[in-house]
Amino acid sequence: MPATLISGVAIAATIRDEISIEVSRLKDQHSLIPGLVTILVGDDPASQSYVRAKNATARVLGIHSQQITLPAHTSESELLQLVHTCNRDSVFHGILVQLPLPSHINEANILFAISPEKDVDGFHPVNVGKLMLGEPCLLPCTPQGILELLERTNISTSGAEVVIVGRSNIVGKPIANLMLQKRPGGNATVTVCHTRTRDMAFHTRRADILIVAAGVANMIKAEHIKEGAVVIDVGVNRIGQTAGGKAILAGDVDFADVVNKAGSITPVPGGVGPMTITMLMKNTVQAAKQAVG
Ligand code: GUN
């Protein structure tokens, strides 16, 4: 029997409806309009399309959003100045600097400059530390989206063998920490695999829940998974383009190969991706509410 599809599109739509209702309530009862500023440096087409999607989603939900685009030659100090200005601007409750930045800009310096209260990406060291300690904070969007996908499809992590492929700061490390926590959505036994893991399949075949965020198209095959496993594919790999110039996307999981062995699986596109943007909106609303107490 083919795996059950975990539709990020459908689950994200439900959460967006909830956010939209909350945005209307904040506006009507508190005259509060959550605000998001996105900052894009350079003209990388993938980054441009991600930032466009973030701003478009914000507007649909009634969140005030502004995109600031700077040329690729912008200096680190110019970008720092802009971040400081946005930190002081009470219209913006959330600040997002799209990564990657041009190589002459130190990413860590920029992320550190964003006020932790406005850090809707959850990348600031203060928020990273709080996440690790299990304290309330703005959570990074993709890991938070994965937790929501599991929760809203009634997949329990408690006591589960969770195997994560990839150790990035954006996905692998934070999702590993969240899954470890002593609370609902956590309580898993967590293994993290990476490029130096000796026998990847040995680990991934033990997974009740396999989360793949490696950035390698179609790397996970049927032989890597256990019968009935939950497979969460975070990969978005551009493997070509259509005659019309549209990107052809593939996940890190070879969907066709695993679909008859997995118990449930997220598609690419339409799985984790829509959840990531939705969690950014949720974080912006959370930051706005916290800003006014
Ligand atoms: N680049 C790729 N993913 C992300 C993300 O989640 N946030 C930011 N700021 N940049 C990214």
> The domain that contains 98 carries what CATH number?
3.40.50.10860
Of 67, 98, 144, 286, which is the active-site residue?
Answer: 98
Q: Does residue 286 belong to any structural domain of this protein?
A: no
What pLDDT is attached to residue 54? 97
Q: Output the ligand 1 site: residues, CB below 6 A.
A: 96-99, 121, 141, 170
pLDDT at 132: 97
281 occurs within a structural domain: no
Compute CA 163 distance to the chain's CA centroid, rounded to the nearest angstrom: 18
Amino acid letter, residue 79: L
Residues 247 and 207 in one domain: yes
Q: Which domain holds residue 105?
A: 31-115+124-130
**Predicted confidence (pLDDT) at residue 146 exceeds the cutoff of 90:** yes
Say whether both 98 and 210 belong to one domain.
no
* Cβ burial 115-151 (10 Å sphere, 16+ → b, else e): bbbbbbbbbbeebbebbeeeeebbbbbbbbbbbbbbe
124 within 8 A of 285, measured Cβ to Cβ: no
Average pLDDT over residues 168-188: 97
User: In terms of domains, do 67 and 148 share one?
Assistant: no
pTM above 0.90, yes or no: yes
Between CA 59 and CA 142, with CA 137 as vertex, the angle to 5 degrees is 55
Residue 293 has pLDDT above 90, yes or no: no
Mean per-residue pLDDT of the chain: 97
- As a whole number, mean pLDDT of residues 262-269 equals 98
Mean pLDDT, rounded, for 55-63:
98
Q: Are residues 100 and 188 in the same domain?
A: no
Q: Does the model's ipTM exceed the 0.95 cut?
A: yes
What is residue 28's predicted lDDT score, i.e. its pLDDT? Answer: 97
* Residue 165 and residue 105 share a domain: no
pLDDT in tens, 219-252: 999 999 999 999 999 999 999 999 998 889 999 9
Residue 26 covered by a domain: no
Residue 190 has a pLDDT of: 98
CATH number at residue 220: 3.40.50.720
Burial (CB < 10 A; 0-12, 13-18, 19+), residue 71, is exposed
Mutate to test the pocket of ligand 1, among 40, 48, 50 (most ligand atoms within 8 A of CB): 50
1 assigned to some structural domain: no
Strands 35-41 and 94-97: parallel
Examine the domain organization and report whether 111 and 183 are in the same domain.
no
pLDDT of residue 87: 98
**Residue 98 known to be catalytic:** yes
Residue 1's pLDDT is: 85
Considering the domain architecture, whether residues 92 and 170 belong to the same structural domain is answered as no
**Does any domain span residue 216?**
yes
168 is in an annotated binding site: yes
Both 157 and 240 in one domain: the answer is: yes
Domain match, 108 and 179 both: no
- Do 181 and 258 belong together in one domain? yes
Task: State yes or no: 236 annotated in a binding site.
Answer: yes
| pLDDT number for residue 80 | 98
111 with 147, same domain?
no
**How many folded domains does the chain comprise?**
2
